[in-house]
């Protein structure tokens, strides 16, 4: 296998006396979908937050495309190309779809109107937003100016994914994307994840839903007690194996440690 | 930004069926009430505008020419200009889901500072005004720092600031009023916003013009700049805004600074309105500005509403006050009706917000 594009070594994060990450390792290879599973409190979300810049680790290193990186904020991580779709989606319900997609990176008009009057280029942002949604097959959402609160849960997820995919992202992290969705909407989101992969963007998928993970993931990272226990190939292991490793009922022997 | 070439995945029949149920948006099958709800949701300043037009018509019918004269209608503008300017500051704060109880106190202290600088330190009026405006911005800055970085609730911070600023105002001014004639003689610039322009029977003061300009400039800024969009996003859902890349703390501080500055500006306009500089003036500006904002349909929960709504809200209050006075009713009826309007406005806001469910 080629070099990992995102790799983490010996990451440690402590909250008071609680060790959330205990010398944790993590690898993501180009073009793959990596499932991340682990029991509640195993430290998955802390790991994800460290990758997305929401949490600063106490020690350890994160490498992106071979270069050492350090993120002081989610914006810094986004600028470096790591986009995260949060479980809460991080959308502003009363703003429009286009406003949401460009929140925090609005485009201004050129010349005097843009530089001095700071006027936003709404037309351009709406056009790009529409293009990005079309790319992901979400353009049945007709009015790019309707507010996000008028959309269904699946549509909102779609907007959030489109936003993550829109801005030159190298990696997309998705935290429990199907947790709040119905069966049909979940299917649509899984299709979206496969479309991202088809575009060549690797996806880190955190989920409690084993069937979803086993359906789309190329590899599964099992997190236990603040560190990576092992990585398994979902085609060679059953879901019950994975649950057994995750909960400590069974030891993974003879499995690749990377 | 890369324009990725990506062919849309071809839809199997199954796929299309899924999409229809997931991503389609029903525009039909909406009742009259629902489409009204949607319209109001899209244009939040519509409710106060309708109320304003209706109240103008009702008072016009009841009072006839006594009310529908350009003099009376522009008098309403003059009477609401100060509250309206303060209301513009209050709108910004309330859009971030905050509240500013110190607006009136900041306004009065700033006007007192302008007076003291001119009459006790002998500074030219221009310098005095600049110092007064900066003091207003500074007080807003303190509010903003305490709210954004100390994470104290806006209600408490500005409640405290209200008392502190008001007490400083009385201590500093020794409760003395600077007389109108003295200002007129020595520093007429302080009274600039009281100067009148007559167009036929209509009387506009520079204060009225400033009020209208401030509202329209802020409406532009809120709708057409990134900062404006961020103000809405912060009020709507601060966590989401932060994760999306908005620097929420900076936005909150800048909003309170701008609010303080606008209040100080209102203090300058206040000198023009009442002529003198009085530390006891503008006592009710905070409550009146919140009233204008609420009647104007800006949600106290933040992120919703428009500053044009506040403009109409302030005018509604002005129309009611003057209309009822011209009818010769007890002024308490004004307060009673404004109370009814406030509660109705919030009830309508709640109804409109239910759109998402």
**Banded pLDDT at B26 (limits 50, 70, 90):** very low
**Banded pLDDT at B20 (limits 50, 70, 90):** very low
A190 pLDDT exceeds 70?
yes
Q: Which of B225, B243, B303 sits opposite A118 (nearest CB)?
A: B225
> Is the separation of the CB atoms in A4 and A28 below 8 Å?
yes
Helix B125-148 and helix B103-119, axial crossing angle in degrees, nearest 10: 150
Domain assignment present for residue B169? The answer is yes
Q: Domain total for chain B?
A: 1
Q: Do A90 and B1 touch (CB under 8 A)?
A: no
- CB contacts of B1 in chain A (<8 Å) are 128, 166-168
Q: Which of A74, A137, A146 sits opposite B245 (nearest CB)?
A: A74
Q: Do A187 and B2 touch (CB under 8 A)?
A: no
Residue B346's H or E segment, with its range, is helix B332-353
What is the per-residue pLDDT across B45-57, written as a single tens digit (0 to 9) for each? 888 999 999 999 9
How do A171-175 and A82-85 pair as beta strands?
parallel
What is the per-residue pLDDT across B259-300, written as a single tens digit (0 to 9) for each? 999 999 999 999 999 999 999 998 889 999 999 999 999 999
Q: Do B244 and A91 touch (CB under 8 A)?
A: yes
Lowest mean pLDDT among B15-19, B173-177, B265-269, B320-324: B15-19
Mean pLDDT, to the nearest integer, of A135-156? Answer: 80
- CB contacts of A198 in chain B (<8 Å) are 6, 9
**Banded pLDDT at B8 (limits 50, 70, 90):** very low
Q: Where are the beta strands (DSSP E) in chain B?
A: 196-199, 202-205
A248–chain B Cβ distance below 8 A for any pair: no
Is the entire prediction scored with pTM above 0.90? no
User: Of the candidates A103, A142, A138, A94, which has an alpha carbon nearest to the alpha carbon of residue B355?
Assistant: A94
What is the per-residue pLDDT across A148-178, written as a single tens digit (0 to 9) for each? 888 888 888 888 988 888 877 899 999 988 8
> Is the separation of the CB atoms in A162 and A177 below 8 Å?
no
Instruction: Report, in angstroms and rounded to the nearest whole number, the Rg of chain B calculated over CA atoms.
Output: 23
Q: Domain total for chain A?
A: 1
Question: A219 phi and psi, to 5 degrees?
Answer: -135, 160
Domain assignment present for residue B39? The answer is no
Distances (CA, A) of A86 to A89, A103, A104, A160: 5, 15, 16, 8
Mean pLDDT, to the nearest integer, of A116-128? Answer: 90
What is the per-residue pLDDT across A66-92, written as a single tens digit (0 to 9) for each? 899 999 888 888 889 999 998 888 899
A150 min Cα distance to partner chain B (Å)? 5
A198–chain B Cβ distance below 8 A for any pair: yes
B111 pLDDT exceeds 70?
yes
Q: Which of A54, A92, A168 sits opposite B237 (nearest CB)?
A: A92
- More confident: A141 or B325: B325
Collect all residues with Cβ–Cβ distance below 8 Å to B165 and sequence separation of at least 6.
Answer: B102, B105, B106, B109, B139
Closest residue, chain B, to A142 (C-alpha): B25
**Banded pLDDT at A142 (limits 50, 70, 90):** low
Q: Do B224 and A119 touch (CB under 8 A)?
A: yes
B224 pLDDT exceeds 90?
yes
Residue-level pLDDT at B24: 41
The enclosing domain of A170 has a CATH number of 3.40.50.300
Mean pLDDT, to the nearest integer, of A131-160? Answer: 82
> Percent of chain B at pLDDT above 90?
74
Q: Measure the CA–CA gap between B46 and B58, rounded to whole angstroms.
A: 18
CB count within 10 Å of CB A127 equals 13
Q: Do A100 and B236 touch (CB under 8 A)?
A: no
B302 min Cα distance to partner chain A (Å)? 10
Residue-level pLDDT at B356: 53
Domain assignment present for residue B18? The answer is no
Domain assignment present for residue A236? The answer is no
Closest residue, chain B, to A144 (C-alpha): B25
Structure-token match 């989101």, residue found: A189
Q: Which two tokens stand for residue B258?
A: 């701008």
Residue A224's H or E segment, with its range, is strand A219-224
> Percent of chain B at pLDDT above 70?
91
Helix extents (H) in A22-82: 44-51, 74-80
What is the per-residue pLDDT across A197-221, written as a single tens digit (0 to 9) for each? 998 899 999 998 899 999 999 999 9
- Cα-based angle A128, B243, A19 (whole degrees, multiple of 5): 140
For chain B, the residues whose C-beta falls within 8 A of a C-beta of chain A are 1-4, 6, 8-9, 11, 15, 18-25, 27, 41, 221, 224-227, 229-230, 232-233, 236-237, 239-246, 303-304, 355-356
Domain assignment present for residue B198? The answer is yes
Q: Which of B221, B226, B243 sits opposite A86 (nearest CB)?
A: B243
Task: Name the DSSP class of B176.
Answer: P
Domain assignment present for residue A246? The answer is no
Domain assignment present for residue A233? The answer is no
User: Of the candidates A119, A74, A127, which has an alpha carbon nearest to the alpha carbon of residue B247?
Assistant: A74
Residue-level pLDDT at A140: 66
A253 pLDDT exceeds 80?
no
A113–chain B Cβ distance below 8 A for any pair: no
Q: Which of A74, A150, A184 sits opposite B22 (nearest CB)?
A: A184
Domain assignment present for residue B236? The answer is yes
Range of the domain at A90: 6-214
List A173's β-bridge partners, or say none: A84, A204
Supply the mean pLDDT for chain B.
Answer: 89
Closest residue, chain B, to A117 (C-alpha): B225
B152 pLDDT exceeds 80?
yes
User: Of the candidates B106, B87, B100, which has an alpha carbon nearest to the alpha carbon of residue B144?
Assistant: B100
Q: Which of B18, B229, B239 sits opposite A106 (nearest CB)?
A: B229
Domain assignment present for residue B177? The answer is yes
Q: Which of A86, A94, A191 sits opposite B236 (nearest CB)?
A: A94
B240 min Cα distance to partner chain A (Å)? 4
A194 pLDDT exceeds 80?
yes
The enclosing domain of B225 has a CATH number of 1.10.3470
Distances (CA, A) of A118 to A95, A106, B228, B230: 19, 11, 10, 13
Q: Do A195 and B9 touch (CB under 8 A)?
A: yes
This model of the complex carries an ipTM of: 0.84
Domain assignment present for residue B14? The answer is no
- Cα-based angle A246, A249, A250 (whole degrees, multiple of 5): 85
Domain assignment present for residue A250? The answer is no
Domain assignment present for residue A63? The answer is yes
- More confident: B62 or A1: B62
Range of the domain at B274: 45-356
Domain assignment present for residue B33? The answer is no
A1 pLDDT exceeds 70?
no
Q: Which two tokens stand for residue A225?
A: 């007690």
Mean pLDDT, to the nearest integer, of B171-175? Answer: 93
């Amino acid at each position: 296998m080629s070099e990992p594009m995102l790799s983490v070594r010996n990451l440690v994060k402590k909250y008071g006396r609680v060790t959330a990450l205990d010398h944790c390792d993590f690898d993501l290879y180009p073009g793959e979908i990596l499932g991340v599973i682990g029991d509640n409190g195993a430290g998955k979300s802390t790991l994800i937050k460290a990758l997305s810049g929401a949490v600063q680790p106490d020690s350890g290193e994160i490498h992106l495309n071979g270069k050492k990186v350090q993120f002081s904020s989610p914006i810094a991580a986004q600028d470096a190309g790591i986009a995260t779709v949060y479980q809460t989606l991080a959308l502003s319900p009363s703003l429009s779809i286009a406003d949401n997609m460009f929140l925090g990176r609005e485009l201004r008009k050129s010349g005097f109107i843009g530089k001095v009057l700071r006027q936003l280029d709404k037309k351009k942002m709406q056009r790009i937003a529409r293009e990005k949604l079309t790319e992901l097959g979400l353009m049945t959402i007709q009015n790019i100016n309707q507010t996000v609160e008028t959309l269904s849960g699946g549509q909102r997820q779609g907007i959030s994914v489109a936003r993550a995919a829109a801005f030159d992202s190298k990696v997309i992290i998705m935290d429990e994307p199907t947790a709040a969705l119905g069966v049909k909407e979940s299917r649509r989101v899984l299709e979206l994840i496969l479309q991202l992969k088809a575009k060549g963007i690797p996806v880190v998928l955190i989920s409690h839903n084993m069937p979803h993970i086993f359906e789309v993931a190329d590899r599964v990272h099992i997190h236990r007690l603040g560190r990576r226990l092992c990585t398994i190939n979902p085609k060679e292991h059953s879901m019950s194996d994975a649950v057994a490793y995750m909960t400590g009922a069974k030891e993974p022997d003879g499995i690749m440690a990377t | 930004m890369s324009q990725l070439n990506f062919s849309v995945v071809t839809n199997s029949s199954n796929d299309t069926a899924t999409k229809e149920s997931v991503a389609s948006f029903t525009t039909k099958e909406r009742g009259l009430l629902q489409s009204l709800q949607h319209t109001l949701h899209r244009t939040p300043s519509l409710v106060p505008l309708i109320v304003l037009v209706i109240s103008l018509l009702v008072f016009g019918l009841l009072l006839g020419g006594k009310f529908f004269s350009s003099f009376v209608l522009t008098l309403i503008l003059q009477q609401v200009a100060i509250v309206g300017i303060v209301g513009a500051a209050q709108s910004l704060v309330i859009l971030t889901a905050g509240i500013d109880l110190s607006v009136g106190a900041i306004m009065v202290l700033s006007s007192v500072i302008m007076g003291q600088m001119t009459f006790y330190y002998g500074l030219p009026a221009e310098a005095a005004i600049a110092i007064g405006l900066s003091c207003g911005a500074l007080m807003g800055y303190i509010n903003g720092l305490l709210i954004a970085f100390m994470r104290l609730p806006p209600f408490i911070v500005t409640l405290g600031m209200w008392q502190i600023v008001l007490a400083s105002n009385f201590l500093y001014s020794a409760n003395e009023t600077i007389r109108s004639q003295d200002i007129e003689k020595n520093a007429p610039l302080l009274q600039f916003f009281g100067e009148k322009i007559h167009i036929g029977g209509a009387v506009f003061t520079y204060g009225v013009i400033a009020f209208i300009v401030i509202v329209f400039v802020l409406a532009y800024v809120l709708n057409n700049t990134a900062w404006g969009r961020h103000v809405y996003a912060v009020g709507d859902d601060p966590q989401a805004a932060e994760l999306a890349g908005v620097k929420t703390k900076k936005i909150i501080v800048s909003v309170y600074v701008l609010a303080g500055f606008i209040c100080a500006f209102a203090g300058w306009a206040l000198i023009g309105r009442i002529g003198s500089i009085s530390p006891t003036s503008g006592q009710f500006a905070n409550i009146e500005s919140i009233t204008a904002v609420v009647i104007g349909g800006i949600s106290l929960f933040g992120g919703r509403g428009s500053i044009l709504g506040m403009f109409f809200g302030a005018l509604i209050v002005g129309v009611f006050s003057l209309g009822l006075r011209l009818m010769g009713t007890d002024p308490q009826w004004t307060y009673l009706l404004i109370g009814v309007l406030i509660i109705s406005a919030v009830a309508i806001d709640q109804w409109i917000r239910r759109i998402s469910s």
